[in-house]
Chain A
Amino acid sequence: MNKRSFWFSLGLIAVLAILPLLLSSFGLKLGSEVLIMAIFVMSLGLIIGFAGLVSLGHAAFFGAGAYAVTLIGDHIDNTYLLLAAAILVSGILAFISGLLFIRSSGAYFLMITLAFGQMLYAIAYKMEELTGGADGKPVLATFNLGFGEIESRVTFYYITAAAFAACYFLLRIFISSPLGRSIIGIKENESRMTALGYNTRNYKLVVYTLSGMMAGFAGGLYSYFNEYISPDLLHWMFSGQALIMVIVGGVGTLLGPAIGAGFFVVLQNYISSYTERWPIIMGLIFVAIVLYGRGGIVHIVSLIWNMIFRPKQSKNRD
């Protein structure tokens, strides 16, 4: 880890640690939601930005994790086991679906993942005895890491913050590992990597499964956070929202999608308190970002950063 990224990481942790001192109780709840969504969107950003796999069914894994915690949680009340189950279930789903789907790419991959997500949605919707159908299901499992049930919002915030930081650093290590480098290489030029003797499908499958597991973990946390789940968590609208968060934040970066998640969740909460027409506004934001976005928040920020602090360098780059 070089000096710059060390200070950056330290800054990130400091911000996450100090934030509760500035936030109201509602702000803390929103903060937890942002961080959970950030884990989910980061996992999607991983396969889009680093493996070139654009999925429109990623909510399937988030929802699978949420349903795993909720349904198994009716019988077993051990937070570690339940979160492990969420990761395992979504990991298995990602592995099997990846095995079948990764042979196709581009728009085809997008349509198939979309249909896969909708299939899980339809199953959760129809199997009323088990899942509660369209009405959803309350989460009975209690959040207990071995120190008694956690009910305070501050504590929950810090746990989600730690979870987010752990996922972020895990992905950083993954990306800079030889495995991660090979995956980026496959995205840049698949035929060359194939010619070099790499079995590109297996590499994509690894990153897709990892991404699914992380999404499932986020879904599991969401169950505890929201204490209530519904099939909407599996719906393609949710997948699409995650996709736009990735784009808003910036494709091809790790933290970009997380920032996009923050931007969107906060905006949604703010606008929804004024008007019921959030879908229209969100749709307009989609269109505006596509037409005028130019690479997302992270790219805009780094552009400004370079203009202010490194005028010479940025000129040289141009």
Chain B
Amino acid sequence: MSATTLTMHILNGLAYGMLLFMIAAGLSIIFGLMNIVNLAHGTFYLAGVYIAYYFIGRHMGFWLSLLLSIIVVAVLGVLMEKLLLERVYGKELEQVLLTFGLSFIFADVVKWIWGTSPLTLPVPSGLDVSADLGFMIFPAYRIFVIVVGCLLAVLLWYMENKTRVGAMIRAGVDDRDMLSALGINIKVVFTCIFAVGAGLAGLSGVLGGPIMGMYVGIDSEILISSLVIVVIGGLGTWKGAFIGAILVGVVDTLGRVLFPSFTMAMIFAIMIVVLLIKPNGLFGRGAQA
């Protein structure tokens, strides 16, 4: 493999990693803060991309559809949290089953409306060109996704470490009861975090549409990869999700080229090694759940 091809695969891996980061970040914070393994998180991705497909089909344009889709998915997340999840807080098994059941329902609804054949989103105009990087040519849209991912990472890092909301989240991950004892309305914090997590997954879905396409079953693929990232990166931290997502994205993309049969096994092996050396993940905070 020449250096140029290798660079191309690594860039592709980075783009994929950024998409995964947007999902894993929400999953990780929701898990760390609320102690919910949200198995319906892949559903937010799925909902995001199909809703955008619907709006684009109504001639709304890519960017408006992106915005609308994120809003719809965030509202969906809030409804899910307020109407259903709030009733089973603290009951681990019930939460898992509830979100699992919801992912079943949504996947089948999508199948019902849009069928099973894979669809794809168009690349937004202006970005549907190839950029000349000097030493190689690479699709501009993927570079755009990498840039968006990095900007988002910086924004989330700033929020986590420099703002009041971030301080609340960090405190909540370490000790939930203490946070509410300090007079912070933890219910509102939970709902906001859930909305942000869902919105991020929706964003990832829309941005991923032109690259990965969309089909029933992509929700569980994305979910599994995100869970692995959360375990590798550690709970309740955006930094962990970022590093973990880049690692999984690049390894997955390179693996598909070099040894297609064992990519998943290799990602999994990385997870086990990390787990054996650092049971809390690379950047995990607080005690193990």
A residues with CB within 8 A of B: 48, 54, 56, 100, 103-108, 110-112, 114-116, 118-119, 122-123, 126-127, 236-237, 240, 243-244, 247, 251, 277, 279-280, 282-287, 289-291
In the bound complex, how far is the Cα of B88 from the Cα of A244, in angstroms?
Answer: 16
**Residues on the A chain within 8 Å of B289, using CB:** 106-108
How far, in Å, is A22 (CB) from chain B's closest CB? Answer: 33
- B227 and A286 within 8 A (CB): no
B109 within 8 A of A: yes
Q: Give the B interface residue count (CB, 8 A).
A: 44
- B105 and A126 within 8 A (CB): no
Which of A126, A277, A291 lies in contact with B260, CB distance below 8 A? Answer: A126
Main secondary structure of the interface of A (DSSP, over half): helix
| In the complex, the 4 A-B pairs of residues with the closest C-beta atoms, listed nearest first | A286-B101, A283-B105, A122-B264, A283-B104
- B264 and A56 within 8 A (CB): no
**Residues on the B chain within 8 Å of A237, using CB:** 104, 220
Supposing A103-B279, A123-B262, A290-B101 touch, asked if A115 and B271 sit within 8 A by C-beta, the answer is yes
B224 within 8 A of A: yes
**Residues on the B chain within 8 Å of A104, using CB:** 275, 279, 288
Supposing A236-B220, A247-B93, A277-B112 touch, asked if A110 and B84 sit within 8 A by C-beta, the answer is no
Given contacts A107-B289, A122-B263, 18 further A-B contacts (CB under 8 A): A107-B31, A107-B37, A108-B231, A110-B37, A115-B231, A115-B271, A118-B264, A240-B97, A244-B100, A247-B97, A283-B101, A284-B101, A285-B101, A286-B100, A287-B101, A287-B105, A291-B84, A291-B98
How far, in Å, is A205 (CB) from chain B's closest CB? Answer: 16
- A54 and B96 within 8 A (CB): yes
- B87 and A291 within 8 A (CB): yes
**Residues on the B chain within 8 Å of A108, using CB:** 231, 288-289
In the bound complex, how far is the Cα of B37 from the Cα of A115, in angstroms?
Answer: 13
In the bound complex, how far is the Cα of B230 from the Cα of A254, in angstroms?
Answer: 34
**Residues on the B chain within 8 Å of A285, using CB:** 101
- B88 and A290 within 8 A (CB): yes
- B92 and A289 within 8 A (CB): no
Which of A100, A106, A280, A286 lies in contact with B92, CB distance below 8 A? Answer: A106
In the bound complex, how far is the Cα of B87 from the Cα of A51, in angstroms?
Answer: 26
- A115 and B224 within 8 A (CB): yes
**Residues on the A chain within 8 Å of B152, using CB:** none
Supposing A100-B272, A107-B37, A283-B101 touch, asked if A118 and B261 sit within 8 A by C-beta, the answer is no
Q: Which residues 241-289 of B have a CB within 8 angstroms of A?
A: 260-265, 268, 271-272, 275-276, 279, 288-289
Binary per-residue interface labels of chain B (154-180) against chain A in the complex, 1 for a CB within 8 Å, 0 otherwise: 000000000000000000000000000
Binary per-residue interface labels of chain B (203-235) against chain A in the complex, 1 for a CB within 8 Å, 0 otherwise: 000000000000000001000100110110000
